[in-house]
Amino acid sequence: MLGGTKMSKICYVIAEVREQKLRQVTFEAIQAARLLNNVEQIHTILLGHQLTELAAELSHYTPDTLYVIDDASLTHYSADLYREAILSIIDQANATIIVGHTAIGRDLAPVLSAALHAGQISDVIAIEGDTFTRPIYAGKAFEQKQFTADETAIISIRPNNIPPASALPSQGNIEARTLTQSAALRVMVKDIVRKASGKVDLAEAKVVVSGGRGVKSADGFKILEELAEVLGGAVGASRGACDAGYCDYALQIGQTGKVVTPMLYIACGISGAIQHLAGMSQSKVIIAINKDPDAPIFKLADYGIVGDLFDVVPILTEELKATIQN
């Protein structure tokens, strides 16, 4: 897809809400829209229920129109309902649409791409005008892509790679819309039961403390949770730790789990299998704690500590507590 490009002058950002809060990737997506060449209008679409406060907040980041569809049926994400809601707003034949490369965005982007017969570039980590950079081969290489036609384009951006947008001096226009449900809807989400929930969203956390088989048990994760709490971060895990039953699969980071790009990644008792590295290799700073000096994770780490994590992590936690208190 690399070649001549003609990006649309109208861009729509799909906001994402979790537990009645705007996700950080929403503001990153707005900044991504500002980075595009020749964009004259940036609109935002906010879907959900009881959105008055969120709409007021988001309007300060939206240069043009913030479209809001506030409906009880949108309390939880549904691909069918989101598709209908978004298509009722986007009527341009060549709009650019930006979503976060999150669980919702990875599902929604291809749905919109199919409905709009649009090209799609996923997992974007950098934008230079009309050129989009994304990792390939589990992060071992990068490719640059462009859209080659003046048609509808879908872009999903990886969280924690594009800086969030700053608020604008003036408030954008808020336009309320009504959801019209089609009889052809196939799925309706009534409720979501979360098996694992942390104080910090793992996909957007600035600090991630992860454990592998070296943690040895579910109780072993408690010291990782304490360290993550001190650092204001989230707890993750390798596939091996999840398979062993030490933690829920919702914490899994890797090729078949979540992809994270925090400012700081602390790998505790993780050997460094290529499948795990695919999910965290783009972290800004990586610290590895492992008692095996030959563990592959040390080849990737910026800093390595050879030692038993059950000795190292508590000391690190206490030192950080003392530093923060002082």
Question: 136-164, pLDDT tens digit by residue?
Answer: 887 789 999 999 877 889 999 999 999 99
May I ask the CATH architecture of the domain 10-177? 3-Layer(aba) Sandwich (3.40)
With 0-12 CB in 10 A as exposed, 13-18 as middle and 19+ as buried, what is 163?
A: exposed
* Residue 53 tokens, joined: 């406060």
Taking only the tens place, the pLDDT of each residue in 106-135 is: 999 999 999 999 999 999 999 998 899 999
Residue 44: C-alpha distances to residues 31, 35, 143 (Å) = 12, 15, 28
Domain boundaries, the chain: 10-177, 202-325
Q: What angle do CA 149, 151, 156 make, to 5 degrees?
A: 100
Please compute the mean of the pLDDT values over residues 80-103 and round it to a whole number.
Answer: 90
Q: Is residue 139 within 8 Å of residue 278, measured between CB atoms?
A: yes
Q: What secondary structure letter does DSSP report for 75?
A: S
d(CA 182, CA 188): 12
202-325 sits in which CATH class? alpha beta
* Full-model pTM: 0.84
Fold match, 10-177 / 202-325: yes
Q: Is residue 263 within 8 Å of residue 284, measured between CB atoms?
A: yes
d(CA 9, CA 62): 15
Taking only the tens place, the pLDDT of each residue in 205-221 is: 999 999 999 999 999 99
Band (196; pLDDT cuts 50, 70, 90): low
